[in-house]
Structure formats: structure tokens, C-alpha cells
């Protein structure tokens, strides 16, 4: 069943920069998709449109049969979508566990439960001994794993990841890859990852190549 539907989506910045040009594609629930393509080919723009951070200039974008405007804003952000950023975007003065707990704040009223769920997830990704460390003192790879936990703690139906290994050294990339791979095999969720990294593409069930804002092959 189609989960994400793009019909003739174009995105033009400042009236002149064509980031996406007439892209049509559909993604089924449970698919894991790598968006590959050179820098500037429109990968982040596509993710940002699906996440509702950007609006298309023209075309139709539907998620689970509804346009983003039709989704309840809170449900969309908290339960439908999880976003993993290349730059982590953690609150550096807070501990690893607090960063993850904060994402649970709107959906889980019980502080003990928030703590339990967050620490369990962090433990699963090998950060048990880092729970109470401020994230500014963590390595890049550790920070990305905290950011990963934050992005999935609300069990989103769709995980979007923008160059998740882009800022990591090769050992940390490998650990994150293992984490993503385990996530894929233990959840039925859909995932779309924008990446340059062919190793990331290998753990996905489908690859979409973008070039100059167009989906050139799938
Ligand atoms: P990729 O993720 O493949 O590197 P992007 O989606 O970031 O590609 O960028 C596609 C094109 O859109 C590039 O030419 C980029 O400079 C431009 N672009 C992206 N975001 C913006 C923005 N907010 N304002 C203006 N131009 C942008």
C-alpha cells in the first residue's frame, strides 16, 4: 500500500533555484529507501518536504493518504515522523538521557516512564555508561546515537535521516550503520535516508538516485 506519494513535485527557492523538478514517486509502508545523488541534487529538499519543513512550489505530496496540511500538526510531528539530522541538533548542556526524555514529554506524562524508556533505548545502542553525561562531552558517534534514540523514541511510522553518517569517522559510521540496520530488522517502520554513503544504501531495500532535482533511476 502506498504510504508516501509524490506527484509532479517541484521546489524552487527564491524563484530561481530549482531544487526539485517534477519528481513523482511512491513509497510503500515498511520500505527502507536510500536517496543517493551528488551534493546539490535535492536529497535534503526532498526529506524536508516530506517532513513538512519546506513547502513544494507545485505538485501533490501525500502521506498515508493525506496532505501535510490535513494532518494534525502535533500527531504529524510527534507520532508520524522522526527526523535524524546530520548535525545532531542536541541540547548540548543536557545529558544524553534528558535529550531523549524531552522528545517524550508531549506523549508521556509520567516522568519515571520517560526516564525508563529513554534509558532503555540508550542502553540498546551501547550508551548505558553515558546516560548522565552532558552531550557536549560525547564523541560525534555517541551524539549521533543519542540523536537516533531521540528520533525513534516516539515510535514514528516514518524515520527520515539526512546524511546521518556525514559527520562521523569511519568507526562511528560503522556503529551507527549497525544501529540503523538493527532498527530496520526489528521494526516495520518506513525509513528514508539521504546519503552519499553507499554502505548506508546497502542496508536499505530500495535506492532512488537524484540528479539535478530529478529522480533519475530507482
Ligand atoms: P543535497 O541534499 O542533495 O545536497 P539540497 O536539497 O540541499 O541538495 O539542495 C538542492 C539545491 O537547492 C542546491 O542548489 C541548494 O543550493 C539549493 N537550496 C537548498 N536549500 C535552499 C534554501 N533554503 N534556499 C535556497 N536554496 C536552497
Span 134-187, pLDDT tens digits = 999 999 999 999 999 999 999 999 999 999 998 889 999 989 888 988 888 888
Ligand 1, from 11, 16, 40, 47: best to mutate by most atoms within 8 Å of Cβ? 40
Dig out the grid coordinates for 62 from the structure.
Answer: 501525500
User: Among candidates 138, 152, 141, which has minimal Cα distance to 91?
Assistant: 138
Check if 186 has its Cβ closer than 6 Å to any atom of ligand 1. no
**Is-contact 26 2, C-beta < 8 A?**
yes
pTM of the model: 0.94
Q: Indicate the DSSP class of residue 132.
A: T
Query: Could you identify the atom of ligand 1 that is nearest to the CA of residue 163?
Result: 2
Among the listed residues 4, 33, 57, 81, the one whose alpha carbon sits nearest the alpha carbon of residue 208: 33
Asked whether residue 38 carries a pLDDT value surpassing 80, the answer given is: yes
- What are the residues facing 103 on neighbouring strands? none
Q: How far is the CA of 129 from the centre of ligand 1 (A)?
A: 38
- Residues 6+ away with beta carbon under 8 Å from 54: 11, 45, 48
Closest CA to 131 of 104, 96, 88: 96
CA of 65 to the centre of ligand 1 (A): 27
Q: Whose CA is nearest to atom 1 of ligand 1?
A: 40
- Residue 73 has what pLDDT? 85
Amino acid at each position: 500500500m502506498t504510504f508516501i506519494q509524490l506527484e509532479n513535485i517541484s521546489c524552487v527557492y527564491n524563484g530561481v533555484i530549482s531544487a526539485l523538478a517534477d519528481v513523482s514517486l511512491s513509497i510503500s509502508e515498511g520500505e527502507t529507501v536510500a536517496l543517493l545523488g551528488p551534493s546539490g541534487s535535492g536529497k535534503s529538499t526532498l526529506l524536508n518536504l516530506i517532513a513538512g519543513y519546506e513547502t513544494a512550489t507545485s505538485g501533490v505530496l501525500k502521506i498515508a493518504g493525506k496532505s501535510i496540511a490535513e494532518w494534525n500538526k502535533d500527531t504529524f510531528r510527534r507520532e508520524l515522523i522522526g527526523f535524524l539530522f546530520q548535525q545532531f541538533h542536541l541540547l548540548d548542556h543536557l545529558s544524553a538521557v534528558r535529550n531523549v526524555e524531552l522528545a517524550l514529554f508531549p506523549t508521556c506524562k509520567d516522568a519515571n516512564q520517560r526516564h525508563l524508556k529513554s534509558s532503555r533505548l540508550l542502553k540498546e545502542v551501547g550508551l548505558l555508561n553515558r546516560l548522565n553525561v552532558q552531550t557536549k562531552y560525547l564523541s560525534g558517534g555517541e551524539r549521533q546515537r543519542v540523536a537516533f534514540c531521540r528520533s525513534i523514541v516516539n515510535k514514528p511510522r516514518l524515520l527520515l535521516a539526512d546524511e546521518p553518517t556525514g559527520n562521523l569517522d569511519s568507526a562511528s559510521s560503522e556503529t551507527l550503520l549497525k544501529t540503523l540496520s538493527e532498527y530496520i530488522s526489528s521494526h516495520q517502520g518506513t525509513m528514508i535516508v539521504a546519503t552519499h554513503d553507499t554502505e548506508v544504501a546497502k542496508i536499505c531495500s530500495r535506492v532512488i538516485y537524484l540528479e539535478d532535482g530529478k529522480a533519475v533511476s530507482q
